[in-house]
Amino acid sequence: MEIHYLNVWDDIECAGFNSQEYGLLKFGSCEIANQYAKILCERFLYSVDISTISRLVIMSAPYITLPNPASLLADRIGKELLKLFFLRKGFREIGVVHIHKDKHFKSEYAQLTLRERVFLYKDICLYIDEKISGATVLYIDDIKTTGSTESKCLSFFKEQGVACVYSLHLIDISQSGGAEYPSIEGILNRSAITNLHDVQIFFENGGYPVTSSMCRFVLSYPDITAIWEFFNALPKEIVQEFYRGSMGDGYPDMIVFKEGFLKLQNVYKNC
C-alpha cells in the first residue's frame, strides 16, 4: 500500500494557524469546518494528480456515536471535491465513508501518552459499511499529536486492500512536542472556550452540532451546579442528543464524566 503524508501546518507557531479558530472547530463550528475544509482541499489538490485516481474514498479518524471534528471536515471535503470534479472526465467515483470503532477509551484521550494510546488501540476494532479494496483513500484528521490514531487507521486500510493513502492533517505536532507532551492537544481543544456560558452561546448562535469534544467538556466541568443549569437551559432535542451521544460513547463509565452525566440524566428524564 502506497502512503503519502501531508499537512497544512507543522507547528502551532506556524503563520496562519489560529488556536481560537481551531478550538471552535473542536466544538463543532460549521463555519470554521467549512473554512478548514477548503484549506485542506487546496493542500490535497496541490500535491496530487487527481486525474490518475479512478475511485477516491474520503475517510477520517474513527468515532463511535458523537461526530468528531475530523468527520465534520471529511463531509465538507467530500462536497468540495464533488463540486470541483463533478464534470471532470475520467474521475469516476468519489465518496465519504466514516470509520467507527467498537469500544471507547475509559480515559480522556487527549491526556494520554503515546505508549498509552498505542496500548489502548490494540483492543479497539474498526469497521466500515462498504468495501474500499483497490480504492485511493484520502484520510483526514484535524490534528496529529502522537500518530497513534493514524497508525491504527493505516493498518486498517491495508487490511481492507486499499491501494493508496493520502494522510492529510490540518496540523501535525508529532515532531514538535506532541509525542513527548500530548497534553498540548488538550490545551488546544480548550483554546476557544472557558466556561459553559461560552458553550451556551454556541447553541444560541446556531450551526453547532453536539460533538464528542463539546460533550466531554460539559460533562467534566468542575461546577456541578453549572452543569445542571446548562442542561436545563437547553432545548429538549439538544439535551436528548447529549444523552444519546454520552450513552453511545460510554461516558457514564468514565469517572471524570460520571457526576456530570448524572446531572444530564436527571434533566433528560424530565424532558
Residues 6+ apart with CB under 8 A from 65: 244, 245, 247, 248, 249
111 has a pLDDT exceeding 80: no
Among 189, 191, 200, 184, CA closest to 235: 200
Rounded Cα–Cα distance for residues 20 and 152 (Å) = 29
Position 125 scores a pLDDT of 94
What is the band of 90 on the pLDDT scale with cuts at 50, 70, 90?
A: low
Q: Are 91 and 53 in contact (CB under 8 A)?
A: yes
Query: Is the pLDDT reported for residue 86 higher than 80?
Result: no
- pTM given for the model: 0.90
Mean pLDDT of 170-193: 76
Q: pLDDT per residue over 192-221, tens digit each?
A: 888 999 898 888 877 678 999 899 999 999
Q: Which of 120, 169, 162 is nearest to 145 (CA)?
A: 169
| pLDDT, tens only, 92-106 | 688 999 999 987 776
* Per-residue pLDDT tens over the stretch 59-82: 999 999 999 999 999 999 999 888
Contacts of 29 (CB under 8 A, 6+ apart): 202, 207, 208
Q: Are 101 and 109 in contact (CB under 8 A)?
A: no
Give percent of the chain with pLDDT exceeding 90.
59
Edge-to-edge strand ranges of the sheet holding 164-172: 2-9, 164-172, 136-144, 55-60, 93-96
CA distance 37 to 32: 8
Is 52's pLDDT higher than 70? yes
